[in-house]
């Protein structure tokens, strides 16, 4: 439905890795490991899944380990986006012991968070697999971590909505109220930007849908509509504009929403409510 981003989280380590690691050990000072391990100690670590799910974030973990010490060797045992079982080894890492333990927690935190997002996304994708509907994320992400979060959605089989406020126009209720109506809001966008951006318009009723359809936007966002209203919206649109359903969709309801015939379903919970995936590392 929407243009898909192909995200590389290695770029995020290049930009933010020093900041992430700086929280753990300013000036690379790990008080515990410095006292308990000799400077020449070498360790081998194993990242292990403690539950079933979909793994994501291993390239970021690899980059974080190498950021702390280029001598650390990280070897994935599974592919990104792969379903894994409890007890399965996800990756091994070996090298200087102090550096390995210093990088352990930031690396595990990212693999846990991103795998949690990927796992929840896959559950939504599986729930609508009998339909043609795509599962989309939203901008409801932790500030500073949008790219990794959206990357994890991709690994779970979902699709990315806009990255921010700059890559498409999404006219929502506050914009409509501020402009004085849907028609005026769309007119102002086209007067300002021409055809530079794709335009999506949020509608809450079938009357608003009819008004928006007459303006030929690129997408329509059907906000908090009941399944019956969604079905009527699909009939009225008749394939003229891709339709995105949004608003409080859960795993219990997403299948019913998809069966109305909408083209996509956006789910904020993918990134704002995903439980962390349980992963641990044992070193010896």
Confidence of residue 142 (pLDDT cuts 50, 70, 90): confident
Query: Active-site residue among 73, 105, 190, 204?
Result: 105
Residues 245/262, Cβ–Cβ less than 8 Å: yes
Distance CA(148)–CA(142), nearest Å, equals: 10
Confidence of residue 4 (pLDDT cuts 50, 70, 90): very low
* 83-84 and 53-54 strand pairing: antiparallel
pLDDT for 145 = 85
pLDDT for 19 = 57
pLDDT digits (tens, 9 = 90+) for 241-284: 999 999 999 999 999 999 999 999 999 999 999 999 999 999 99
Query: Active-site residue among 73, 139, 140, 190?
Result: 140
User: In the chain, what are the domain boundaries?
Assistant: 10-125+275-283, 128-272
What mean pLDDT is predicted for residues 188-212? Answer: 98
Distance CA(1)–CA(219), nearest Å, equals: 9
Confidence of residue 13 (pLDDT cuts 50, 70, 90): low
Angle at 275 between CA 269 and CA 280, to 5 degrees: 150
For residue 8, is pLDDT > 70? no
Confidence of residue 1 (pLDDT cuts 50, 70, 90): very low
Q: Please indicate whether residue 4 or residue 191 has the higher confidence score (pLDDT).
A: 191
For residue 53, is pLDDT > 80? yes
Q: What is the mean pLDDT of the chain?
A: 92
What mean pLDDT is predicted for residues 93-105? Answer: 95
* Length of the chain counted residue by residue: 284
pLDDT for 78 = 98
The string of DSSP letters for 173-185 reads HHHHHHHTSHHHH
Asked about 204 being catalytic, the answer comes back as no
Tokens of 91: 């990756």
Cα–Cα distance list, 114 to 13, 22, 178, 213 (Å) = 14, 20, 37, 37
Q: Where are the beta strands (DSSP E) in the chain?
A: 42-49, 53-54, 73-76, 83-84, 89-96, 134-136, 169-171, 199-203, 219-223, 243-246, 264-266, 279-283
What mean pLDDT is predicted for residues 112-141? Answer: 97
pLDDT for 202 = 98
The DSSP element (H or E) to which 232 belongs, if any, is helix 227-237
Query: Active-site residue among 172, 187, 236, 240?
Result: 172
For residue 218, is pLDDT > 90? yes
What mean pLDDT is predicted for residues 202-208? Answer: 98
The DSSP element (H or E) to which 192 belongs, if any, is helix 182-193
Query: Active-site residue among 62, 104, 134, 202?
Result: 202
**CATH classification number, 128-272, choose in 3.40.470.10, 3.30.70.260, 3.30.1330.40, 3.20.20.70:** 3.20.20.70
Residue 53 φ then ψ, to 5°:
170, -165
**Under CATH, domain 10-125+275-283 is a member of which superfamily?**
Quinolinate phosphoribosyl transferase, N-terminal domain (3.90.1170.20)
pLDDT for 10 = 59
pTM exceeding 0.85: yes
Asked about 150 being catalytic, the answer comes back as no
- For 215, the 3-state DSSP assignment is coil
pLDDT for 143 = 85
Q: Please indicate whether residue 47 or residue 30 has the higher confidence score (pLDDT).
A: 47
pLDDT for 30 = 82
């Amino acid at each position: 439905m929407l243009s898909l981003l192909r995200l590389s989280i290695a770029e995020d380590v290049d930009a933010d890795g020093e900041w992430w690691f700086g929280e753990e050990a300013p000036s690379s000072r790990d008080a515990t490991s410095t006292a308990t391990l000799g400077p020449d100690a070498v360790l081998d670590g194993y990242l292990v899944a403690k539950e079933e799910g979909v793994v994501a974030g291993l390239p970021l973990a690899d980059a974080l380990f190498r950021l702390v010490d280029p001598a650390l060797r990280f070897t994935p045992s599974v592919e990104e986006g792969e379903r894994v079982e409890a007890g399965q080894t996800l990756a091994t890492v070996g090298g200087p012991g102090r550096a390995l333990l210093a990088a352990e927690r930031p690396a595990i935190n990212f693999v846990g968070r991103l795998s949690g997002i990927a796992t929840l996304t896959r559950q939504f994708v599986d729930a609508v697999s009998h339909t043609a509907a795509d599962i989309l994320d939203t901008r409801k992400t932790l500030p500073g971590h949008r790219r990794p979060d959206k990357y994890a959605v991709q690994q779970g089989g979902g699709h990315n909505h806009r990255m921010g406020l700059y890559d498409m126009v999404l006219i929502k209720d506050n914009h409509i109220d501020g402009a004085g109506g849907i028609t005026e809001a769309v007119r102002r966008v086209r007067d300002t930007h021409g055809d530079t951006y794709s335009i999506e318009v949020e509608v809450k009723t079938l009357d608003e849908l009819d008004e928006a359809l007459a303006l030929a936007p690129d997408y329509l966002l059907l906000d908090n509509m009941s399944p019956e209203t969604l079905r009527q919206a699909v009939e009225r649109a008749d394939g003229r504009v891709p339709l995105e359903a949004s608003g409080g969709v859960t795993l219990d309801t997403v299948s019913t929403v998809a069966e109305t015939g909408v083209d996509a379903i956006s789910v904020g919970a993918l990134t704002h409510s995903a439980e962390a995936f349980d992963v641990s590392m044992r070193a010896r």
